[in-house]
Structure formats: C-alpha cells, structure tokens
Amino acid sequence: AFLKFLFFLILTLIMVVSAVYINFEIPNKELSILRERSDNARNQAIAQENFKRTLSELIVIANRSDSSSKAMLQSEARPKLDLLRNSSSIDDSSSNNRMNIEVWKMANQFIDTKSKLSDLKDFEGQIRKYKEQISDLQRQLENCQSRVNFNNGN
C-alpha cells in the first residue's frame, strides 16, 4: 500500500509540476514571438516615417528648384534619392518596400525631368540668340554676295 501511495504521489507531483511548467513555458514562447513581431512592425513603421520625411524633403527641394539651377537641384536632390533607395532595401518581402521602390523610381524620374526642364528654362532666350545669329549670318551672306556681284560686274 505504501509503494502504491508513493507511486501515485510521485506521478501526481510529476503531473502538477509539468502542468505548471507548460503553463508558464508556452506563454513565454508566444510572448517572445509576439515581441519579435511587434519589434518588426515598429521598425517598419519607423522606416516608413523616415521614408515619408525624406520624400517630403525631396519634394520641397524639387519645388524650390524652380528658381535654382540644375547643378543645385542635382547636388541637393541626389543625397535624398540615395536615402530613399537605401531605406527601401530593409525588408524585401514587405508590400511597403515594393511600394517604396516604385515611389523611389518615380521620384528619380521626377528629379531627372526637373533637371531637363531647368535646361529648357532659358529656351526662349536661346531661340532669340540663335535668330539674331541667323540674321547676322544672313547679312554677312548678303554682303559677301554683293561683293562677289560687284567684283563680277567689273
């Protein structure tokens, strides 16, 4: 009877201890998994905020560049574009990252277009200058033709 009692006591103690262990161990594992996911979500949110802030700064630079030169636009915008590109390579699996890459491509095209537009800013002045050169060359051609005609007439 004593051995039966001892056997069932040990069996009961093992069951109680294992139940308590499982009761505390499984939530700890779940808690660590949830903490990891929470940290990942927080890091992604921080990365998105940094991306949005950098994009806003880039837009301010692009809007300010209407009155500035192409070199100034390139020197101020390229570091921001590099930051956008580098911030979008954190996690390749997220849909936010794919969207950030597409936004970066569009921002890059926008800055390139702004640069080309700044090249064309003084387009009318260049056309006016070329028209003046054409009229000068036409006068010179007429002078040369009149000299040739004058010399041929003698």
Residue 90 DSSP symbol: S
Query: Which pLDDT value is given to residue 90?
Result: 53
Low pLDDT (below 70) residues in the chain? 65-69, 88-94, 122, 152-154
Whole-number Å distance between alpha carbons of 107 and 58: 8
What pTM was estimated for this model as a whole?
0.59
Query: Which pLDDT value is given to residue 19?
Result: 92
Query: Which pLDDT value is given to residue 11?
Result: 96
Whole-number Å distance between alpha carbons of 97 and 51: 10
Question: Using only C-alpha atoms, what is the Rg of the chain?
Answer: 38
Query: Which pLDDT value is given to residue 67?
Result: 59
* Residue 105 CA neighbour count, 13 Å, CB half: 5
Whole-number Å distance between alpha carbons of 18 and 8: 15
